[in-house]
Structure 1
Amino acid sequence: MAWLRASPPKECPHVRKPLRKAVLPVAGLGTRFLPATKQMAKEMLPVVDKPLIQYAVEEARAAGIEQFCFVTGRGKTMLVDQFDVAYELERTLTERNKTKELDMLRAQALPPGSIVSTRQQAALGLGHAIWCARSFIGDDPFAILLPDDLMLCDVSCTKQLADAYNETGGNVVAIEEVPMARVSSYGVIAPGETAGKLVEVKGLVEKPKQEEAPSNLTVIGRYVLMPEVIGHLSKMEKGAGGEIQLTDSMAKLIGTQPFHGLRYEGRRFDCGDKAGYLEAQVAFALSRPDMAPAMQSIIKKYA
């Protein structure tokens, strides 16, 4: 499999804009969690007491994101409803003097007009999902958060990417090392020069065979991209798995704009996988002072 190699980086062609937008692709069916996801969106699966989609939105807000676009599928209106005002619930909490719960709900509320949704009618890949948000993205830089990748970080992973974008003025993706035997499940970078936690991206390939992978540095579900990627996605070129791969269009930005991978600080949990989801329950409970003693006691029972 050929992978794309960059020519020397050129000056970023557009004026650097503040990062204020995020796209959340949430159209998947969640078949690995059936029957739980027969009626419920997989992004509504809770970790301790918050759904996955809530964690993603809160992470983005911590990075200064103000506008959100959910790329949804059929039967996923509950994802938008999660961030709507629940008047009946708030009235009931008020009547029962549940001030703590009421304050929590109101603190999580988003300003009116902060969320829009668009529909991905066919499962044609992540690249196609991002293309579906093209009107929302416009000419602005934007973050992408895949809620299946749940992040446990002292500093929001998206905030780490936003800070790197402010430093470099170009595309930044969160990266982590995986065993070479697993690279065929990821987008993989061909690394260039390293400066601190930033790694220059010289090339990208989606799901390479182990023997063809340029490294074991893989892209996870957090990105900050420039709007020019939409022009490449618009060509609807199919890649690995017969899908429109975001990685392929990102690779075409290399050499025309700054492009870096960020070795983020924190832990990722693959909540699209049952084992990863269960591990996330344990890790997030242990990270909370109100839940850690109970979780430690539970773990001892089964040790």
Structure 2
Amino acid sequence: PKDQLERYGVIKTKMQGEVRLLESIVEKPKPEDAPSDLVNISKYILSNQVFDILKPQTPNPSSGELYITDTLTELAKLQPVAVHVPQGSYLDGGNPLEWLKANVTIGLQQPELAEPLRSFLKSAIS
């Protein structure tokens, strides 16, 4: 949801034929400043060139943190960085309610847990 974009890095991409390429990542933007509604879920396969960019990086002035997202934006200026947009849903493990939803979802998908979990949830709700 657009109102939650400021909790994530938001990516700007461009299409090159059938491939989506990274242009930049804006870390935790205000919703009105977000370049898209695609959020970065921090799953990377990177070349070792990323370390050359990461070494001289300085902390972000507003947070004091180093952001890999700044490094990825720099890397995208030097070489193509492909972006994969997964299908399905995403639950944020850093949010307590989303963490619970994820665990219930996974539990209900496990044959040995599904029925006992369903029974527990029904009794907890009633």
Q: Scaled by the length of structure 1, what TM-score is found?
A: 0.38
> Offset at 1:260?
2.1
> Offset at 1:299?
2.2
Q: Scaled by the length of structure 2, what TM-score is found?
A: 0.85
Please, which of 230, 242, 248 is the counterpart of residue 64 of structure 2?
242
Please state whether the residue corresponding to 1:284 is helix, strand or coil.
helix
Q: Which has the higher strand share?
A: 1
Unaligned runs of 5+ in 2: none
CA distance in 2, matches of 1:294, 1:282: 12
> 1:225: which partner in 2?
46
Please state whether the residue corresponding to 2:42 is helix, strand or coil.
strand
Please, which of 80, 100, 110 is the counterpart of residue 278 of structure 1?
100
> 1:204: which partner in 2?
25
CA distance in 1, matches of 2:109, 2:17: 31
> 2:116: which partner in 1?
294
> Offset at 1:199?
2.3
- One-letter identity of the residue aligned with 1:282: V
Alignment of 1:260-271 (within 5 A): 260-271=82-93
Deviations 1:169-219 (A, max 9, x none): xxxxxxxxxx221111111111211766x5222222111122211111110
Is the 2:10–2:37 Cα contact (8 Å) retained in structure 1?
yes
> Offset at 1:293?
0.9
CA distance in 1, matches of 2:85, 2:64: 30
Deviations 1:79-129 (A, max 9, x none): xxxxxxxxxxxxxxxxxxxxxxxxxxxxxxxxxxxxxxxxxxxxxxxxxxx
CA distance in 2, matches of 1:195, 1:187: 25
Unaligned runs of 5+ in 1: 1-178
Q: Which has the higher helix share?
A: 2
What count of residue pairs does the alignment treat as equivalent? 124
Please state whether the residue corresponding to 1:243 is helix, strand or coil.
coil
Structure with larger Rg: 1
